[in-house]
Amino acid sequence: MKRRVFGISLAGAFALAFAPVAAAPDALTAWFMRATAYNTEGAATKMSRPELLPGTPKSMTCHSEDGRPGLAGVWQLLAYDRVHHIAFATATTDQCSVALFRAPAPTVTVPNADLSGYATRLGLHVGSTYQSVRSTYGGGPEKSGASRFVVAYTSSVPDQTVALPHKKISLPQTVTIVVEAGRVSSISIYTDMSGEF
């Protein structure tokens, strides 16, 4: 039995050694998930208004770009700020999602950009205080003393269907915030666009 387990382990080690291409996206996804806590389950606070995404300039807009590294299935890493250690990623498959987060340099090549001034339409950015988050989004749990925690907010974004005649709809939105040492280290905004179709 021990010999068989060792043989399976050895075969697995050889498979991993000769499969670096498959491991890279997994490592990038783990890097993204660790920094953003994206899709973290838990209670969410209803926001007093939706977190709308700016249209111009392309600061927090969801869009895709050819040749950018993929991660977490439908996400793309678009830029990394090597001075401020901030990354920007988007997802556009049946959604309009963005993530702005502090993280160590990724293991892939992406354009360098100054992301230190990027902010949501309601004014939050990496480095905002948790008190700013609570006042901007209309509440949220008290989290005194925790060195790192995740909070989520939900809202509905007014929109209309693509098909004619247009009908007014509300799209569900979730904002996930990671706070470290009292400051925002990650903002991810997920807006489900499937209701447009």
What pLDDT, on a 0 to 100 scale, did the predictor assign at position 54? 59
Q: What type of residue is 29?
A: T
What pLDDT, on a 0 to 100 scale, did the predictor assign at position 82? 97
- pTM, two decimal places: 0.82
Which residues, given as ranges, of the chain have pLDDT below 70? 1-25, 53-60
Per-residue pLDDT of 60-117, as tens digits, reads 577 788 889 998 889 999 999 999 999 999 998 888 899 999 999 999 999 999 999 8
What pLDDT, on a 0 to 100 scale, did the predictor assign at position 18? 37
Note whether 186 and 95 are within 8 A (CB).
no
DSSP string, 117-161: T---TTS--TT-BHHHHHHHHT-----TT-SEEEEEEEEEEEEE-
What pLDDT, on a 0 to 100 scale, did the predictor assign at position 62? 77
What pLDDT, on a 0 to 100 scale, did the predictor assign at position 73? 85
What pLDDT, on a 0 to 100 scale, did the predictor assign at position 25? 65
Q: How far apart are CA 139 and CA 45, in angstroms?
A: 7
